[in-house]
């Protein structure tokens, strides 16, 4: 699946998007955040306040307990500041 | 069916409002809200607005649909800009049209509250003199403003 990152999540990780292949036991958005956080310091930094990170699956907002099975694109970003 | 646009270019609020009412006589009220790039203390060189292409449009459309289920709207337009925005320049436009002003005012208020907490846009301030400030932090007052529309649901 494709992971996409925005704003300071993107800057901390150092890339806007990438293909990821989490193991089968990573079932939810929250578990995916934990799995990504273990990939390196830049990910750990981006997700250090995991609770405030927002996620979207295929461009729809989801909570951290959402299942990721079947997702094509998972986005991670800070709370939104538009308007 | 609302008109939704996400664009780098500026917009013409009067033209957008006129487009909603052109050729019809059933609309009794149009509310136009324009959000501007505010400079506090003369320190802002520009705002940079990042967005999630595709989802930004989709989320604005969802918010507009939600407004249409709550109020008898006869038209709605949302335009949100991205990219570099100069102090004093326009950022966001919400236009609502209805038979009566109550629905038009309430729907415009609702749309702004909801899009601030749901539409994937992020602002960053650039200071005068070349410094880049950190990303603008989400305000809890914005979430509270959005939450008041859910009270009693």
Average pLDDT, consecutive stretches of 10 residues, N- to C-terminus, chain A (83 residues): 98 98 97 98 97 97 97 98 95
The range of the structural domain enclosing residue A9 comes to: 2-77
pLDDT (0 to 100) of residue B129: 83
pLDDT (0 to 100) of residue A66: 98
Position A48 in a domain: yes
Q: How far apart are CA B108 and CA B31, in angstroms?
A: 7
| Domain at A41, CATH number | 3.10.20.30
The range of the structural domain enclosing residue B13 comes to: 3-133+141-147
Number of domains present in the structure of chain A = 1
Judge: B55–A59 Cβ closer than 8 Å, yes or no.
Answer: yes
B40–A contact, CB cutoff 8 A: no
Q: How far is CA A50 from CA A16, A44, A53, B51, B146, in A?
A: 18, 9, 5, 21, 22
**Contact list, B59 vs chain A (CB under 8 Å):** 59, 61
Half-sphere exposure of A33 (CA within 13 A, CB side): 25
Q: How far apart are CA B91 and CA B111, in angstroms?
A: 15
% of chain B exceeding 70 in pLDDT: 99
Buried/exposed B129-143: b ≥16 CB within 10 Å, e otherwise = eeeeeebbebeeebe
Number of domains present in the structure of chain B = 1
3-state helix, strand, coil in chain A (%, to 5): 30, 25, 45
Position A23 in a domain: yes
Position A22 in a domain: yes
Position A36 in a domain: yes
**Contact list, A79 vs chain B (CB under 8 Å):** 117, 137-138
ipTM above 0.90, yes or no: yes
The mean pLDDT of B58-72, rounded to a whole number, is: 98
Q: Tell me: the pLDDT tens digits for B85-107? A: 999 999 999 999 999 999 999 99
Residue of B nearest to A5 (CA): B52
pTM exceeding 0.90: yes
Position A83 in a domain: no
What is the average pLDDT score of chain B? 94
Residue, of B138 and B97, whose pLDDT is higher: B97
Position A39 in a domain: yes
Position B152 in a domain: no
Residue, of B1 and B138, whose pLDDT is higher: B138
Position B97 in a domain: yes
Position B153 in a domain: no
| Domain at B80, CATH number | 3.90.1170.40
Residue labelled with tokens 């509250």:
B113
A82–chain B nearest CA distance, Å: 5
Q: How far apart are CA A61 and CA B15, in angstroms?
A: 32
Tell which B residues from 98 to 117 touch A, by Cβ distance under 8 Å. 112, 115-117
Position A57 in a domain: yes
Position A82 in a domain: no
């Amino acid at each position: 699946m494709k992971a996409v990152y925005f704003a300071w999540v993107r800057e901390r990780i150092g890339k806007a998007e990438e293909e990821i292949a989490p193991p089968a036991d990573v079932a939810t958005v929250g578990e995916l955040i934990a799995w990504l956080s273990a990939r390196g310091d830049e990910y750990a930094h981006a997700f250090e306040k995991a609770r405030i990170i927002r996620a979207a699956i295929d461009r729809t907002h989801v909570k951290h307990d959402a299942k990721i099975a079947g997702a094509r694109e998972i986005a991670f970003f800070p709370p939104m500041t538009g308007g | 069916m609302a008109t939704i646009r996400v664009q780098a270019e500026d917009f013409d609020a009067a033209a957008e409002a006129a487009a909603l009412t052109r050729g019809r006589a059933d609309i009794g009220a149009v509310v136009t809200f324009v959000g501007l790039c505010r400079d506090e203390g003369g320190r802002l060189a520009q705002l940079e607005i990042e967005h999630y292409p595709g989802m930004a449009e989709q989320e604005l459309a969802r918010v507009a649909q939600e407004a249409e289920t709550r109020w008898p709207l006869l038209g709605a337009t949302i335009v949100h800009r991205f990219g570099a925005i100069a102090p004093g320049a326009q950022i966001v436009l919400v236009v609502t049209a209805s038979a009566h002003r109550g629905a038009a005012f309430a729907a415009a208020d609702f749309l702004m509250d909801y899009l601030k907490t749901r539409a994937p846009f992020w602002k960053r301030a650039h200071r005068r003199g070349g410094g880049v400030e950190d990303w603008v932090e989400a305000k809890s007052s914005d979430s509270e403003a959005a939450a008041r529309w859910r009270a009693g649901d």
